[in-house]
Chains A and B, each alone.
Chain A
Amino acid sequence: MMSLAMATENENLKIVQVWHGGKFQKRLQEMGIYKDSQIKVIKNDIPGPLIVDVKGSRLIIGRGQAQKIMVEGE
């Protein structure tokens, strides 16, 4: 298990835990980021936000926010 911010590009991952609460957690859910969903990092250049693939759409997510999303390889 590691944070999304540590993940390598183009690896299929599964979300294990989302350490966000309240409205933002909801926003992530409705954009397809929630526990047990699949995710793939498309771009992970430090510093700066990440680009991820979720259900076929591309999302930009801030690095700080990605650090609070735990994933594991499939």
Chain B
Amino acid sequence: MDKIKIALAGNPNVGKSTLFNRWTGMRQHVGNWPGKTVEKKEGSFKYDQYGMEVIDLPGNYSLTAYSVEEVVSRDYIVGEKPDVIVNIIDAANLERNLYLTVQMMELGANLVLALNMNKFAREKGLKINKKQLSELLGVPVIEIEAVDDTGSEKLLQTIVKVSKSPNVVLDRLEYGNEVSEHTKQLEKIIDQDIPQLDAPSSWIALKLMEEDPEIIKKIEETGKGQRVLKEIKKIQRHFNDVFGDDADAAITDARYGFIAGLVSESVKKPKIDKVTRSDLIDRVVTHKYLGIPIFLLIMWLTFQITFTLGDPLGGYVEEAFAWLGETIAASMGEGFLTSFIVDGIIGGVGGVLVFVPLIFILFLILSILEDSGYLARAAFVMDRFMHKLVGLHGKSFIPMILGFGCAVPGIMATRTLENERDRLLTMLIVPFMSCSARLPVYALIVAAFFSAYQGWVIFSLYLLGIVVAIIVAAIFKKTIFKGMSAPFVMELPPYRLPTAKGALIHMWERGALFLKKAGTIILALSVVIWALSSLPVGVEYGSQESVTGQIGTVLSPIFAPLGFGEWQATVAIIYGFLAKEVVVSTFGTLYGIDGDGGGEEASDEEVSANETASVEQVSNEASGEQVSGETAVEEASAEEEETALEEDPGYIAVMQELFTPLSAYAYMVFVLLYIPCLATLAAIRRETNSWKWPAFAAVYTFVVAYVVSFVVYQGGLIMGFA
């Protein structure tokens, strides 16, 4: 079978990964902002009798790399020589997109142009004459729609054809007399002196005139470049004298000039620019005063919706597991194995799986946000404030928002930050963003203490995460990461209506990862925790004498000043270092899943009715201030403790025994801020290539968590919230 090696190249956010996923059935990260793909990814599929090997590249604007992920693309395009490069182009943005195309033509690449986003081009009133464009460039131009199959067949046919008889493109480029003359001159010398270079000498000549450091180095390394380099100096001087500008600027002009010529001959534009729908939305969303309130509102809605929909669904899962546990216990009787299955596995893994609906819904909403194009707006809105306060620019905020899903992709996304210092700093604060793994912990505690106010309490934690991240960043920027931040320029993609299918796939992708985590790491850890809670032989399961109990007891004085000096709370934090969901599975293995029998269910309802009533009462009086809500809840829960405790102690009762509302809040704050999970530390290690930074992150986040929780708890005590 013949193999054809294809690279997908193009500007950021044009649909490369969307096409890649469609062809290979793989699941690369897709979303509506520039810079999602940060590593090249290979996939393969069969077409006709050909084995197609596709490489999805990070987006780039030119062959001069600027940030880490762009180097990958540039090196691939320049160095690897795929059989065919499919240059995906945002048709609504043709002129700028062709700038990269032209550069790949300079290199003599075997190109096929795939025009994507044609619907948006039409909306803008652009009419592209593909035939004309194709003739002028000497490259096939195919209209596609990466989200469905439009044009896919034709594109594949063309790829096969072009792989057999490569396009000849070098002589298509016309850069005007001034530039051409000098490149020709230079070319001649290169051909004479260093003919063995494996790139067209005209390309080398252009790159030298652009003062590309890597090409200059390459030429120097051959040892035969003296004449070439001297000639370059001469040309530079000439351009400076005649045009008052360097050769570099002249080449840019020449390229854009060539493109302008192409476009004027092949594209019909409307006379006046239409005001697009995107602009209209942006008038509100990026508004000077409304921008931040809108951002907060979107966040608030996200968590409110997550809880309103996810909580009842989670209740069903909980009942199912409780039933399963009871059934197994009933049929197997008391014993070692029963304890293993019911306490260890169902308690640990089931305890986390109860929150699957919550997590899926959160992912769904985040996916919709990502696909809509809002993320880039959030970066814009936050820049104002990040810039002044922190000295990071708004682009750093994109990894932070991704951190709401999971810190690992957030840390990967820092690759798009050009400045190494900014990148490190952003990596260090991304873990403060409240990721989906914290959600089960909040949900558990909120259900026990703040059920009437859950949306607000959780929202406050998310906000706290952002605030702490910003404060810490500001401190670091003034101490260990002193220096100017990189200049800020970023493309603002148009809003796009997210498709249901896209969002659901996206949700499933990440949700599946969570399920996998539950089935592997969390399962394994639950077994370990169960074992540690059963040992040494003879102790009562999950008692203070067990290993778990002893670990907790020894370390609990450390946490006593934060309000959660009970050994169970302590040990959950210790185990939770591995993955934050484990905090929940620890409680699950220790106490089992809330097997509410009929009677208890009734009392639960009663309790929440009770709580709601008193909270409402207080919020009427105290203008809904959150802290005062907590006291009200606490009163309610104190009453209820007596009734609930007499029955089978479920989660809620146990939680209320371990915590007061104040210490419960301090506990959530601690879980939010303390040491990032192992996967996050591993990601930091990978990205920084050293153990120093993950170690630093672990230590400093612990300190921050301790200090903030301490302040919350002790401050709360002083203010009288016992």
Pair from one complex: yes
**Residues of chain A at the chain B interface (Cβ within 8 Å):** 20, 23-24, 26-37, 42-43, 45, 47-49, 51, 53-65
Closest chain B CB from A55 CB (angstroms) = 4
Closest to B103 in A: A30
Known: A23-B66, A51-B286, A55-B96. A62 touches B253 (CB 8 A): no
Interface presence of B64 (CB below 8 A): yes
CA distance A13 to B253 in the complex (A): 17
Whether A57 and B61, one on each chain, are in contact in the complex, defined by CB atoms closer than 8 angstroms, is no
In this complex, the member of A23, A24, A60 whose beta carbon has the largest number of chain B beta carbons within 10 angstroms is A60
CA distance A61 to B14 in the complex (A): 20
Closest chain B CB from A8 CB (angstroms) = 15
Closest to B100 in A: A30
**Residues of chain B at the chain A interface (Cβ within 8 Å):** 61-62, 64, 66, 92-96, 99-100, 124, 245, 248-249, 252-253, 256, 273, 278-279, 282, 286-288, 376, 379-380, 383-384, 387-388, 393-394, 418, 486-494
- Chain B residues, Cβ within 8 Å of A24: 486-487, 489
- Chain A residues, Cβ within 8 Å of B96: 31-32, 54-57
Closest to B288 in A: A45
Whether B282 and A32, one on each chain, are in contact in the complex, defined by CB atoms closer than 8 angstroms, is no
- Chain B residues, Cβ within 8 Å of A29: 62, 249, 252
- Chain B residues, Cβ within 8 Å of A60: 376, 379-380, 383, 394, 488-492
- Chain B residues, Cβ within 8 Å of A34: 249, 252-253, 256
CA distance A33 to B61 in the complex (A): 12
Closest chain A CB from B210 CB (angstroms) = 8
CA distance A33 to B253 in the complex (A): 11
- Chain A residues, Cβ within 8 Å of B256: 32, 34, 37
Closest chain A CB from B621 CB (angstroms) = 39
Whether B383 and A58, one on each chain, are in contact in the complex, defined by CB atoms closer than 8 angstroms, is no
Known: A30-B64, A49-B384. A58 touches B489 (CB 8 A): no
Tally of A-B Cβ pairs under 8 angstroms:
113
Known: A29-B252, A30-B61, A56-B92. A35 touches B383 (CB 8 A): no
Closest to B383 in A: A49
Closest to B124 in A: A56
- Chain A residues, Cβ within 8 Å of B100: 30
Closest chain A CB from B65 CB (angstroms) = 9
Question: 7 A–B contact pairs at CB < 8 A?
Answer: A24-B487, A26-B64, A34-B256, A42-B282, A51-B282, A62-B387, A63-B387
Closest to A20 in B: B487
CA distance A30 to B104 in the complex (A): 13
CA distance A46 to B124 in the complex (A): 29
In this complex, the member of B66, B384, B489 whose beta carbon has the largest number of chain A beta carbons within 10 angstroms is B489
Cross-chain contact of A55 among B93, B249, B486, B494 (Cβ < 8 A): B93
Whether B388 and A47, one on each chain, are in contact in the complex, defined by CB atoms closer than 8 angstroms, is yes
Known: A30-B99, A31-B61, A34-B249. A47 touches B487 (CB 8 A): no
Whether B95 and A43, one on each chain, are in contact in the complex, defined by CB atoms closer than 8 angstroms, is no
Closest chain A CB from B640 CB (angstroms) = 49
Whether B95 and A62, one on each chain, are in contact in the complex, defined by CB atoms closer than 8 angstroms, is no
Cross-chain contact of A61 among B64, B124, B245, B489 (Cβ < 8 A): B489
CA distance A20 to B245 in the complex (A): 13
CA distance A37 to B255 in the complex (A): 12
Known: A47-B388, A51-B286. A62 touches B489 (CB 8 A): yes
Cross-chain contact of A51 among B487, B492, B493 (Cβ < 8 A): B492
Whether A35 and B245, one on each chain, are in contact in the complex, defined by CB atoms closer than 8 angstroms, is yes
CA distance A62 to B644 in the complex (A): 57
Known: A51-B282, A61-B489. A35 touches B249 (CB 8 A): yes
Whether B282 and A48, one on each chain, are in contact in the complex, defined by CB atoms closer than 8 angstroms, is no
Closest chain A CB from B225 CB (angstroms) = 22
Cross-chain contact of B492 among A32, A56, A58 (Cβ < 8 A): A58
Known: A31-B61, A37-B256, A62-B393. A55 touches B490 (CB 8 A): no
CA distance A27 to B95 in the complex (A): 16
Smallest CB-CB A-B distances: 7 pairs? A62-B488, A48-B384, A30-B62, A58-B492, A45-B288, A30-B61, A55-B95
Whether B61 and A27, one on each chain, are in contact in the complex, defined by CB atoms closer than 8 angstroms, is yes
Known: A35-B245, A42-B279, A49-B383. A62 touches B487 (CB 8 A): yes
